[in-house]
Chains A and B, each alone.
Chain A
C-alpha cells in the first residue's frame, strides 16, 4: 500500500486480546475442565529416570497399583501396542529403534519417563509414582558432544555409529578459491551453550477418546495444533479427520509448544486405553528434563577469508550440534533454519557449512526455540566480523559498512538461496550511531576507564528473517517435497455492515486479534469497532493456517488481509453494479462506499449492500450471494532448488543493537546498563505491541548472552531443574531498552509489515557478547563462549593476564 495515512495501522491501539487476563479469566490447560457430561477425568503422574543412561532391568508396579484411587500403572513396554505409528522423527536415515512415548528397555536422559500412573486425582497419582520400583543398570553417560562422536564412546542408539544422527555438507560458491585469494584468514572455535524457552506455563493436555464415533478430542496449549494434530493422530491411529485439536489460551511458547506434542500423544493414548478423559500437566522440572525442551547447543569451528580492505570473501563453518538423546519431528530443522540469513547483513558469497548432529545423554533439544538456530549463526557472523576488524586494524563500524548489502541491491539473493526482500542497512546503522550518541558513549567509556571502571559498548548489525516455512524440514528427506506454509482468513460482513474476521491459529500472547483488526479496518476504511477478529478454536473447523512460528503471523496476515479485503471489495462492486445498474469499470470502493467515478449521485454504502446481501439476496445474481470471502495463501517464497538453495523466509527485518555494559573485573559480573536498538521490521502495525515483543525477545537473548544455560553434571544428572538453576532473567537484570523504529516496508504484502517476534533473541547474544568484549579490550579477552558467566569471564581474564 503506497498510501500511508492510516487510521489504525501504525498506532498504539490497546490490545483487546489481553483484557481478560487482567481479571484472571484466561482459560489455560490447568484451568480447563472437560464437559461435565463426560466420564470423570484421570490424572497422570510420571515415573522418571534418575539416570542419564541406563538399561531398565525391571519395573515393579504392584505396590503402586494397590494405592487407593489409582486406576492404572503402565510401563513403556505396556504402551507399545498403542503406538499405531512410530513417533515422528525427521531423520529417516537414523536407524534408531522407534522412540516410544515412554521409555522401553533403556533410558537415555535424566528425567526420561519410564512408567505412568493414572489416578482419580493428581496427588494420588504422584504418591503412587513414588511406589513404583525400577531396577536400573547404569551405563556410562555421554555428555560432551565432541566426546560423543569419538570411536569407543558408548552408543546411545544401536547402529548409530559415533552417535551421529545426521551429517551433511553444503557448499555454495567457490570456497577454496576464496581462501586462496584471501589476504587474511580468521580462525576460531565458538561454543553456544544450550538454553530453553522456559515459557512460564508448562505444557499440558487433556484428551478424550469417544469410542462411539472414533473421535479424539484434545485440548492443549499447543503453538501449532494444525501440524501437531495430524502427527499425533497418526501415532494414536485416529484418522486425522476425526482428531479435534482445540486451541486454549497458552502461557507463552516461544517454540517450546511448537514441535512438541507428547502431552497430546500421551493423554490420547491413555484415553483410548481407559475410555475416560485424561489430563497431563507437566511440572517445571519435567518441562526442563523429561520431554523435548530447549535448543541449539552448538560448537563451531569457523574460518573466514578476507581481503586487506576488510571485504569478507568466504565463511567456512564446521558445526557440532548437540541434540540430546533423541531426534524429534522438527530435528534437524534448527540446522537449516539459519540458512535464511546465514551471511547476515553482509555480502559474503562463498559459504561452506558442515553440520554434524550428535546424540548425547541429555534432554532432547528438538523443540523449536525462538530464533531456531538464527541466534547462533548471528553470533558467529558478528564475532567473525569483529575478529577480522581487529586483525586488519579496521574500525568495527567501518568494516560493517564495507560489507553491507547496499540498498539498491535488494531483493538480494544469499548464496544459501534465501531472498532478502528489502532493507536499508547503512541508514539504520547511521541512525543507531546517532540515536545512541555513540561517540559520547565512547568518551564516557574512556573517562570510566581512567577511574578503573570497565564499560563496554557493543555493536551488532543483524537481520532477522520472518515468516517461517516448513521446507527446512525437507532437507533430510529429499524425496519429500514440502513447500507449503500458508495462512488463512475468512471475512464475513454481517447484515449491519460489520466485519467478522475469522483467523485459524493459536496464540500465546501475540495480540493478533488486534493487529488483524487494525489491518482490516484500514483496508476497508471502516471504524475498527465495526471489526471483530475471532479465532476458530477447533483445528477440524479451521482452515489451513500454519500458525504462529518463525515470526510469521503478522506479515502473513498482512498479506492475507490485503487479498481478502481486495476480493471483498470486488464482490461489493459486482453487487453494486447490479443494484445501481452501473458499469463495473466506473465503480470504485472508497471509505465504506461503492461510488461511480463518473456520477457523484450513484453510490451505495457498505451497510446497505450488507443488508441486501444478508436479507434481500433476490436482488443480486446467485453467485454473489453472501458477503464472505475465504482466502488461503502460501508464503511468498517456498522451495529448495536442486543446488540445495533455500528460498523460504521472504521477509527480512534488520536491527542495529548498541548495548552498554559494565564488567566488574574483580568479580566477573556483567551488568547491562542500557540497550539501544534501531529496529527495522518494515511497517509496524502496532508499535505498542511491537515494542513488547521486541523487548521480550531481547531478554531471551540476554539470557543466552550472559545469564544462564542448562547444566548437567558429569554423570548426566540435570542440574538446571528449576528457574533458579536456569538463571532465568528477572526484572532486576533488565536495562533501559531504548528502541527506535525505522521502516523499510516489504514489497511483498499489503502494508509492508515484516515479522519481529524472534528479532530480540537473534540479535542480543551477538550484541551483548560484543559489548563484554569491548569492555575487556584492555585485557585482550575474546568472547567465544556464551553465556559469559562470571566464572568463564574470569577464567579468560586470568589466562590473558598470564
Chain B
C-alpha cells in the first residue's frame, strides 16, 4: 500500500515511500531528519507543527504526506539566511521570547508569514499580531515577549513602528 511521494524539502528534491495514512509531520520527523515541527495537540490548534507549503504556513499534523506531491515544503531548518527569519531570531533572542523552546519553531514561521504579508504595505497593529498568532499556543512566555519581539522585527525591517492602540 506504500506510495512514493516526491517533493522539494528545504530546496532539495526528496523522495519517500509512505502509506496513505501517514501524516507529513511524522514523515518529516521520522524519515527526513527534520525535527523542528512538533506534535503537541494533533488537531490543528497549537501551531507546533507549522511548515511552509508553497509559501503558505500550514499545519503538517493535518496533512497527509501523499498530498504534498510536487509541492515545496520549507521548515525552520531551511530558512537560515532568510532575512525575515533571521531578524525574528535576533529579536526573539533579544527579548527573551523563548523559554522551553517547544513552540518556538511554530511561532517563528507563523510570525514570518505575518511579516511577509505586511512588508509591501507596512501598517501593523499589536492587535493584528495577537490575532495572527492565536493559532500558536505557548504556555511558558504568556505571549507578550513574543509579540514584542515581532514588533521589534517589524520596526527593524520596515522602519515603521507597530501601532499599539488598545484604547479602552
Chains A and B touch (C-beta atoms under 8 A apart): yes
Kindly state the interface size class of chain B when it binds its partner: 35 or more
Residue ID in chain B nearest A445 by CB atoms: B168
CB atoms of B35 and A252 under 8 A apart = no
Interface-located stretch among B1-9, B66-74, B87-95, B115-123: B87-95
Residue ID in chain B nearest A696 by CB atoms: B142
Residues of B within 8 A of A715 (CB): none
Interface-located stretch among A18-26, A390-398, A535-543: A18-26
Given contacts A200-B48, A510-B99, A734-B130, contact A123 B139 (CB under 8 A): no
CB atoms of B35 and A760 under 8 A apart = no
CB atoms of B96 and A688 under 8 A apart = yes
**Closest beta carbon of chain B to A143's beta carbon, Å:** 25
Within 8 A of A (CB), among B122-144: 129-131, 133-144
Check B41 for interface membership: any CB of A closer than 8 A: yes
Residue ID in chain B nearest A23 by CB atoms: B76
Contact of A252 among B89, B94, B139 (CB under 8 A): B139
With the chains together, A730 CA to B129 CA distance in Å?
12
Within 8 A of B (CB), among A429-479: 444, 448, 455
CB atoms of B96 and A31 under 8 A apart = no
CB atoms of B142 and A19 under 8 A apart = no
Residues of B within 8 A of A252 (CB): 99-100, 102, 139-140
CB atoms of A18 and B99 under 8 A apart = yes
Within 8 A of B (CB), among A148-182: none
Contact with A along B1-45 (1 / 0, CB 8 A): 000000000000000000101100010010000011011111101
**Closest beta carbon of chain B to A419's beta carbon, Å:** 31
Residues of A within 8 A of B22 (CB): 123
CB atoms of B93 and A455 under 8 A apart = no
CB atoms of B96 and A18 under 8 A apart = yes
Check A283 for interface membership: any CB of B closer than 8 A: yes
Given contacts A22-B92, A673-B168, A731-B134, contact A200 B145 (CB under 8 A): no
CB atoms of A15 and B96 under 8 A apart = yes
Check A736 for interface membership: any CB of B closer than 8 A: yes
With the chains together, A563 CA to B101 CA distance in Å?
32
CB atoms of A200 and B105 under 8 A apart = no
Check B103 for interface membership: any CB of A closer than 8 A: yes
Contact of A123 among B21, B94, B99, B145 (CB under 8 A): B21
CB atoms of B168 and A730 under 8 A apart = no
Residues of B within 8 A of A24 (CB): 35-36, 75-77, 104-105
CB atoms of A20 and B39 under 8 A apart = no
**Closest beta carbon of chain A to B112's beta carbon, Å:** 12
Residues of B within 8 A of A510 (CB): 99
Contact with B along A252-288 (1 / 0, CB 8 A): 1010000000000000000000000000010110000
Check B98 for interface membership: any CB of A closer than 8 A: yes
With the chains together, A596 CA to B165 CA distance in Å?
61
CB atoms of A201 and B102 under 8 A apart = yes
Contact of B101 among A30, A249, A696, A735 (CB under 8 A): A249
Residue ID in chain A nearest B168 by CB atoms: A673
CB atoms of A722 and B45 under 8 A apart = yes
With the chains together, A417 CA to B64 CA distance in Å?
59
Residue ID in chain B nearest A725 by CB atoms: B45
CB atoms of A21 and B143 under 8 A apart = no
Check A611 for interface membership: any CB of B closer than 8 A: no
With the chains together, A736 CA to B127 CA distance in Å?
11
Given contacts A15-B96, A455-B168, A723-B46, contact A692 B35 (CB under 8 A): no
CB atoms of A695 and B93 under 8 A apart = no
Check B65 for interface membership: any CB of A closer than 8 A: no
CB atoms of A723 and B166 under 8 A apart = no
CB atoms of B101 and A18 under 8 A apart = yes
Check A251 for interface membership: any CB of B closer than 8 A: yes
Residues of B within 8 A of A695 (CB): 141-145
Check A710 for interface membership: any CB of B closer than 8 A: no
CB atoms of B137 and A251 under 8 A apart = no
Contact with B along A32-73 (1 / 0, CB 8 A): 000000000000000000000000000000000000000000
CB atoms of A731 and B98 under 8 A apart = no
Contact with B along A708-729 (1 / 0, CB 8 A): 0000000000000011100010
Residue ID in chain B nearest A723 by CB atoms: B45
CB atoms of B93 and A284 under 8 A apart = no
Given contacts A201-B102, A689-B96, contact A731 B42 (CB under 8 A): no
Check B108 for interface membership: any CB of A closer than 8 A: yes
With the chains together, A700 CA to B141 CA distance in Å?
10
Residues of B within 8 A of A254 (CB): 139
With the chains together, A51 CA to B123 CA distance in Å?
53
With the chains together, A52 CA to B93 CA distance in Å?
45
Residues of B within 8 A of A736 (CB): 144, 164, 166
Check A691 for interface membership: any CB of B closer than 8 A: yes
**Closest beta carbon of chain B to A731's beta carbon, Å:** 4
With the chains together, A660 CA to B168 CA distance in Å?
10
Residues of B within 8 A of A202 (CB): 40
CB atoms of B76 and A731 under 8 A apart = no
| Centre residue among B26, B102, B146 by max chain A CB count within 10 A | B102
Contact of B96 among A284, A692, A728 (CB under 8 A): A692
**Closest beta carbon of chain A to B126's beta carbon, Å:** 8
Given contacts A24-B36, A252-B140, A722-B43, contact A731 B133 (CB under 8 A): yes
Check B147 for interface membership: any CB of A closer than 8 A: yes
Check A698 for interface membership: any CB of B closer than 8 A: yes
**Closest beta carbon of chain A to B29's beta carbon, Å:** 7
With the chains together, A254 CA to B48 CA distance in Å?
19
Check A206 for interface membership: any CB of B closer than 8 A: no
CB atoms of A696 and B99 under 8 A apart = yes
- For the complex with contacts A21-B100, A123-B26, A674-B166, 16 further pairs of A-B residues with Cβ separation under 8 Å are A12-B96, A18-B99, A18-B104, A22-B89, A22-B98, A24-B77, A24-B104, A123-B21, A123-B22, A200-B137, A252-B102, A252-B139, A696-B141, A722-B41, A730-B137, A731-B147
Considering the complex of A and B, which 4 residue pairs feature the smallest CB-CB distances, nearest first?
A21-B101, A24-B36, A251-B102, A509-B99
Supply 26 A–B pairs (Cβ within 8 Å), ascending by A: A14-B93, A15-B96, A21-B101, A21-B105, A22-B108, A23-B89, A24-B35, A24-B36, A24-B105, A25-B35, A123-B22, A198-B139, A199-B100, A200-B102, A200-B138, A251-B38, A284-B42, A508-B140, A510-B99, A695-B143, A696-B139, A722-B43, A724-B45, A732-B134, A735-B166, A760-B142
